Amino acid sequence: MSGIQPTLVTVLRHGEVRGRAHVYRGALDDPMTERGSDRVRAIAQRLAVPAFDRIASSPLARCLDFAEAYAKACELPLETLESMREMHFGAWEGLTPEEAAELDPTHHELFRGTAGKVGAPEGESVTDLRRRVGQGWAAWLADARGGHRLLVTHAGVMRVLLMELVGLDPAHAYRIALPEAAHFQVSHLPGEAPVLLNLNSCAG
């Protein structure tokens, strides 16, 4: 490993999204609002020290629309990573937690009580999401040898990354605030344990 530099990775959540608030918005493809996009852009610019040299995004519009515009402005190629989609909430897509609980109170109680280990009906579990995201993360960083990468993604993806990278217990991961435009940075060095450098270090 001599001579290999650590890679700085910034993971950034999308901003405010159009449509109903406080719903299970997993596979739904609502775009960001203009205000949400402006906020994410401002935070990305603050975090771009050193400058980003690789950019990747979830394929969903609330991430990809911004990532495409930002990559173009930075004159960088953009990678679209299917693995970094939000958790799929199945039959609960577009419902508030209260509406999902009314529809299926027993299943919803299990979902909440197990921190997602029991998935939504016809949806993904946290175990499914961890597997998908973990494999995608490893593939994306397989050639990492320094530099600064940006990943634009979702709160659910960020939570399972924290589970995978720093061994955070699933129940504890849901006690961390990851609001719109939340972000964290990780130092990645092949053969070494990842190091969490900061979490939500920029004000919105």
Whether the per-residue pLDDT at 2 is higher than 80: the answer is no
pLDDT: is 80 or 175 the higher one? Answer: 80
Q: Give 132-159 pLDDT, tens digit per residue.
A: 999 999 999 999 999 999 999 999 999 9
In angstroms, the CA 15 to CA 180 distance is: 4
Output the pTM of the full model: 0.95
The pLDDT score that the predictor gives to residue 181 is 96
User: Between β-strands 195-199 and 148-153, what pairing exists: parallel, antiparallel or unpaired?
Assistant: unpaired
Query: pLDDT class for 39, splitting at 50, 70, 90?
Result: very high
Whether the per-residue pLDDT at 72 is higher than 60: the answer is yes
Q: Does domain 7-89+124-199 have CATH number 3.10.129.10?
A: no
The token duo for 142 is 């397989």
The pLDDT score that the predictor gives to residue 97 is 97
Domain residue limits, the chain: 7-89+124-199
Hey, which residues are catalytic here?
14, 86
